[in-house]
Amino acid sequence: MLTFEVRCHTVVANVLRMVHVAQEVVQEQVTRVLLERLLVNRPHPWGLLITFIDLIKNPTYRFWGHGFTKCAPDIERLFDSVARSCMNTPVRADDGVMSGQPIA
């Protein structure tokens, strides 16, 4: 079991590192793959949840500042909904980090 956890952590770290240094087109593609997997029936793999939660919560990745998260109102609502589902009511702040205030 420990070997699986180490491998999973390594893959999560590599995906997040890749997203951090990649061009926005690649960041959008990786995000789309993660989001598509999160939209299907549960249970979600642990590594998928950890990756997506870290991506949207960690200000290093400036997730909410990317244009693809706001390209259409429906897409923005979808990201907010998935973020709430993954994090038990997280809320997006204007500065790209999560806050405790509800979205209007």
pTM for the predicted model, two decimal places: 0.67
The per-residue pLDDT for 1 is: 54
- What's the CA gap between 9 and 29, in Å, rounded? 21
Q: Which residues pair with 98 in a beta bridge?
A: 92
The per-residue pLDDT for 83 is: 78
CATH 3.30.70.360 assigned to domain 2-98? The reply is no
Q: What are the Cα distances from residue 20, in Å, to 5, 46, 93?
A: 22, 21, 20
Reported as a single tens digit per residue, the pLDDT across 28-51 is 888 888 888 888 877 878 888 888
Position 96 pLDDT exceeds 70: no
* Positions of E strands within 1-104: 91-92, 98-99
Position 2 pLDDT exceeds 70: no
Lowest mean pLDDT among 13-17, 59-63, 84-88: 84-88
